[in-house]
Amino acid sequence: MQITAALSRGPESPFTLEQVSIAPLRADEVRVRIVAAGVCHTDLVSKALLPPAPAAVFGHEGAGIVEETGSGVEGVSVGDKVLLTFRSCGQCATCAQGHRSYCASFVALNSSGARPDGTTTLSQDGEPVRSPFFGQSSFATYAVATQDNVVVVDPATDLVAAAPFACGFQTGAGAVINVLRPAADARLVVYGAGGVGMAAVMAARALGVETVVAVDLSEERRKAALAVGATAALDGRSDDLAEALAEATGGGATHAVDTTAVPAVIRAAAASLAPLGTLVLLGLGAREVTFDVMDLLNGGKTIRGCIEGDADPHSLIPQLVRWHAEGRLPVDEIIRRYAFSDINTAIADAASGSAIKPVLVFDEPTAG
C-alpha cells in the first residue's frame, strides 16, 4: 500500500512529502489513518541527530482512525478513534509495576528506527525507511502501530486537540498527576511555558491546586499561561525573580517542574523550593547540572527525573480526554493547527518558539 510520508534526509534538509510503501500488518499490529499529529521537541532533537541515510519518518503524537487490525489484536477495532503513544514491553519489572515509561526496552522499542527484529514498517523503492519512530512514525497519512501503544478514546474526541496528549501533554500533566501529586494548598512553580509546561499548569489547576506560577522569558507565553489557569506568570529574565517567586508562593514552592533543561534555571528552581519541596525535571538538553548540596540537605529537598509523565497511557490519556471534554483542560488555547503540507513551517515555528504547540492536520488520504 502506498502512502504519503514526511521524509527526513538529515539534520540540514527540510522534510519532503514523498510516496512510501507501508508494510502489511503482523498479528499484534494496527494500521491507523492519521487525522492529526502533534509536533514535539523530541521530533526536532531526533532529526538533528540522524544522518541523511537511510531516510527517516518521525512523529509520535499521532491521532486517527483504525482501518485494520492484526489477527492477535484485542480491545481495538476497525473504526475506533485512537491516540498513538510510546511503546513498552509490558513484561519487565518496571512495566509490571505500572511504570511503563521506564520500560527496560524503551530505547529499542521507540528510538531504534526499526521493529525489534530490525525490519521497518515503511520502505521506498525496496529500501528501508527508518520506522516506526515511537512505534508509529505518524508524520504520514497512515501509520502502523502496535496494540501496546494504541489507546482507544471516546468517539466524540476531537483528535486534533487530543493528539498532543500522546506525549507532550502526557509528560507535563503526568508529572503533576503521577509524580508530584499536589494537594489543593500546594504551591507549584512551572519553569518553561511551552507545551509540556502548559500541560503541567493545566493539570495542576484541574486538580484544584490554588497556587500555580509559570516562569518564562516570553511575554506572549506568560499571557497564555494565565489564560490556561496559572495564578501568576513571571519573567524569567527578571533580576528579582527569586524575590518575586517567594512572594507569589508565600515563601517558596512546595512543588516545581522544569521543562527548560537549562542548568542555571534548574539550579535556581532547586534553590527556590521550600523545605521538603520537590523538583521534577522534564526537559531534554544539558546533561550535567550542579547544585548546592547543603541547601538540598538542610531543606530536605527532592530532585528527580520523569519520562512521559511516569504514565500508563491507557489510563492517563483517557483521563486527559475526559478533562478536555469537561472544560478542565483548555488545550485549544495553545494549539496552532497546520496542514500536513506545511510541516516545515510547523517545525520552524516549534523550533523558534513562535508556536506553543503545533499540530499537523491531515487531509482525507487516498489509499494506494
> Mind listing the pLDDT tens digit for each residue in 24-71?
999 999 999 999 999 998 999 999 999 999 999 999 999 999 999 999
Q: What is the per-residue pLDDT across 100-127, written as a single tens digit (0 to 9) for each?
A: 999 999 999 999 999 999 999 999 999 9
pLDDT tens sequence across 278-313: 999 999 888 899 999 999 999 999 999 999 999 999
Q: Is the pLDDT of residue 364 over 60?
A: no
Residue showing cell 466524540: 156
Q: Where are the domains of the chain?
A: 2-166+334-361, 171-306
> Considering the domain 171-306 in this protein, what is its CATH number?
3.40.50.720
CA distance 202 to 225: 9
pLDDT digits 0-9 by tens, 187-211: 999 999 999 999 999 999 999 999 9
Question: Phi and psi of 240, rounded to 5°?
Answer: -110, 35
Strands (E), 14-101: 16-22, 29-38, 62-69, 81-84
State CA 356 to chain mean position distance.
Answer: 12
3-state secondary structure of 257: strand
For residue 284, the model assigns a pLDDT of 85
Same fold, 2-166+334-361 and 171-306: no
pLDDT tens digit string along 306-341?
999 999 999 999 999 999 999 999 999 999 999 999
Q: How far apart are CA 196 and CA 284, in angstroms?
A: 12
The fold of the 2-166+334-361 domain, in CATH, is: Quinone Oxidoreductase; Chain A, domain 1 (3.90.180)
SS3 at position 215: strand
The cell 503540507 sits on which residue?
Answer: 341
Computed over every residue of the chain, the mean pLDDT equals: 96
